[in-house]
Chains A and B, each alone.
Chain A
Amino acid sequence: MELDDTYVSDRPHILVVDDERMIREILQEVIEHAGYVCSTAGSGEEALLILERMETEVVITDIVMPDLSGIDLLSRIKGRYRSDVIVITGNTDNFNYEEIVEKGASDFLYKPFNPRELVIRLHRILRERALIAERNKTYESLEVTNQQLMRYGKDLNETILDLKAAHQELKESYLDTIHRLVLAAEYRDEDTGEHIVRIGLYSANLAEKLGFPDREVQNILYAAPMHDVGKIGIPDSILMKPGKLTAEEFETMKTHTAIGAKLLANSRSEILHTAEQIALSHHEKWNGRGYPQGISGREIPMVGRIVSIADVFDALTSKRPYKDPHPMEDAIEIIERERGGHFDPQVVDVFLEHIDEMLKIKEEVNKIEPESIIPRPEAE
């Protein structure tokens, strides 16, 4: 038969394969009458040629044909095309159902059959094909959507990693800035920045042992070093005076607590808020004989009570230009003696219970290269 390669139709294409011309013609007429496009082939070989050239929805094939049998044709079709196959069998044909089903036939018809029955079966197969096509289209669309979603997930992940890195960098530069501010405040007073590093570590360790939540422990680690920033407002003549201060000078010296609190006040940063409390309260005493407010006991913020003991311990055990450090035993004894006097008894107990850790911190900080703590200019 003549075929136009460019022929395209929305109507399904049905291919009838039978070696008997009469049967081909009858079937073709019925199928075309039902509204489908129908081609015919007199042999399996001819059918394969047509299949190669034309998209074919359904092949209707006889089993017994010279050369390529209907069963062989079925196998060849299933290996290569998406066509459904209806197999027509005679009662006398030598076949077995299992084999035909296994090879992928969609339906059977026994000879002789009513052509209208063939049309009904064709309808059913074509409807199934339409449903499958629709389902496949849905799958494809889901797959496209899924790929787009994956892309969003990937970009979201990338964005979060970028944000985390940016946040980390910002946090580091923020802490670095705090550290340098503290160094500026201590610049005239201290030999090295080791003191402020130790105060942070002692205080954070104590806070942790006292059961503070992690976040607050972190805040204290960064806030405690700022306890003396108010010294920036104390004149050189007092701050750097080699001898003992007069009563009046000491009164001025005491104002470093309030000055520090003022410098750190009204910040939205939790760290600076904690630092404000510490600056104001780290010279208060449990017995109320401290300054600047002279408050006592639990009136003193816990962070102040913590930093107070860390500050005194560090002063006792550190070497200063004008004095050698106290022996460790003396320092511990002084702290024990001030339990309930200068210091909160509970904080003293925890401090002494973990004195080994405090000593370890001291040792660790001593090992740090001074340059990494304090960027001081070369001595002249």
Chain B
Amino acid sequence: MRKILIVDDELEVRELVEVTLRGDTYQIFQARDGQEAVDIARAEKPEIILMDIMMPGNLDGLEATRRIKNDPETKDCKVIMLTAKGQESDREKGLEAGADDYFIKPFSPLELIRKVEEILG
């Protein structure tokens, strides 16, 4: 099964994204912060990582993305950022950090599903 990792500090957002993508085609993992995201990325090698940028802790979404993209083990994971509205500057930073695409919250579930299907072919 294709693997997807959802990274967000808010449980509600993780659950929402998970039910949006749930089906019998994807195996979905959740991470609550940047460190957990890096760990799960290394262990599971998901094809897609949906990464919130603003997260508490010493590893935010940007730093987590940078580490995942700099690690030869995980650099092929596609990272899609989820940035809050009004934090458009995060987008630039995220792309610089190596993110492949971005969504601005509130995100469109249809677009998210299409994007995931597009990446996974």
Q: Which positions in A face B, CB cutoff 8 Å? A: 144-145, 147-148, 150-152, 154-155, 158-159
Instruction: Tell me the complex Cα distance, A148–B109, Å.
Output: 9
Q: Quick check: is B105 within 8 A (CB to CB) of the other chain?
A: yes
B110, closest chain A residue (CB): A155
User: Are the CB atoms of A148 and B110 closer together than 8 Å?
Assistant: no
Q: Enumerate chain B residues within 8 angstroms of A148, measured Cβ to Cβ.
A: 16, 105-107
| Cα A152 to Cα B17 with chains together (Å) | 11
- Contact present for A150 and B110 (CB under 8 Å): no
Q: Does B108 contact A (CB under 8 A)?
A: yes
A144 x B108 contact (CB < 8 A): no
> Given the complex of chains A and B, what is the CA–CA distance between A145 and B8 in angstroms?
14
Residue of B nearest to A162 (CB): B110
Bound-state CA distance A155–B113 (Å) is 11
- Set of chain B residues within 8 Å of A150, measured between Cβ atoms: 106
Give the complex CA separation of A150 and B108 in angstroms.
10
For A158, the chain B residues whose CB sits under 8 A away are 110
**B107 nearest in chain A by CB position:** A151
Contacts of A159 in B (CB 8 A): 110
Given contacts A144-B84, A155-B110, 11 further A-B contacts (CB under 8 A): A145-B12, A147-B85, A147-B105, A148-B16, A148-B105, A148-B106, A151-B107, A151-B109, A152-B109, A155-B109, A159-B110
Q: Can you report 9 residue pairs joining A to B where beta carbons are below 8 Å apart?
A: A144-B106, A147-B105, A147-B106, A148-B16, A148-B106, A150-B106, A151-B107, A154-B108, A155-B110
Of residues 93 to 121 in B, which have CB atoms within 8 Å of A's CB atoms? 105-110
Chain A neighbourhood of B85, CB < 8 A? 147
Q: Chain B interface secondary structure, helix, strand, loop or mixed?
A: mixed
Interface size class of B (residues with CB under 8 A): 10 to 19
B84 / chain A contacts, CB cutoff of 8 Å: 144
- Name which of B16, B85, B107, B109 has the most chain A CB atoms within 10 A of its CB: B109
Query: What residues make up the interface of B, taking CB atoms closer than 8 Å to A?
Result: 12, 16, 84-85, 105-110
Whole-angstrom distance between the Cβ of B107 and the nearest chain A Cβ: 7
User: A276 vs B12: C-alpha distance in the bound complex, in angstroms?
Assistant: 53
Complex contacts, B12 vs chain A, CB 8 Å: 145
Q: Which B-chain residue is minimally distant from A158 (CB atoms)?
A: B110
Nearest residue (CB) in B for A149 is B106
- What is the CB-to-nearest-CB distance from A367 to chain B, in angstroms, rounded to a whole number? 45
Are A155 and B108 in touch, CB under 8 angstroms? Answer: yes
Q: Which residue of A lies closest to B109 (CB)?
A: A155
Complex Cα–Cα for A152 and B84 (A): 16
Q: Which 3 A-B pairs have the closest CB atoms?
A: A148-B106, A151-B106, A147-B106
- CB closest residue in chain B, given A146: B106
How long is the Cα–Cα vector from A158 to B85 in the complex, in angstroms?
A: 23
Measured between alpha carbons, how far is A147 from B109 in the docked complex, in Å? 12
**B68 → A minimal CB distance (Å):** 25
Whole-angstrom distance between the alpha carbons of A148 and B106 in the complex?
5
Say how far B90's CB is from chain A's closest CB, in angstroms: 15
CA distance A251 to B22 in the complex (A): 60
Q: Is the CB of B105 within 8 A of A144?
A: yes
Distance to closest chain B CB from A44 (angstroms): 35
CA distance A154 to B110 in the complex (A): 10
Closest chain A CB from B53 CB (angstroms): 14
Which residue of chain A has the shortest Cβ distance to B12 in the bound complex? A145
Q: Which residue of B lies closest to A154 (CB)?
A: B108
- A157: shortest Cβ distance to chain B, in Å? 11
Inter-chain contacts of B105 with A (CB < 8 A): 144, 147-148
By a CB distance below 8 angstroms, the chain A residues around B16 are: 148
Q: How distant is B14 from chain A, measured CB to nearest CB, in Å?
A: 13
Q: Which residue of A lies closest to B111 (CB)?
A: A155
In the assembled complex, the CB of A39 is this many whole angstroms from the nearest CB of chain B, namely: 30
Residues of A within 8 Å of B108, CB to CB, are 151, 154-155
Task: Collect the chain B residues with CB atoms within 8 Å of residue A155's CB.
Answer: 108-110
How far does the alpha carbon of A154 sit from the alpha carbon of B106 in the complex, in Å? 12
Instruction: List the A residue with the shortest CB-CB distance to B13.
Output: A148
Q: Which residues of A contact B109 (CB under 8 A)?
A: 151-152, 155
CA distance A148 to B85 in the complex (A): 11
**Quick one: closest A residue to B16, CB to CB?**
A148
Question: How far is it, in angstroms, between the C-alpha of A151 and the C-alpha of B20 when the chains are bound?
Answer: 12
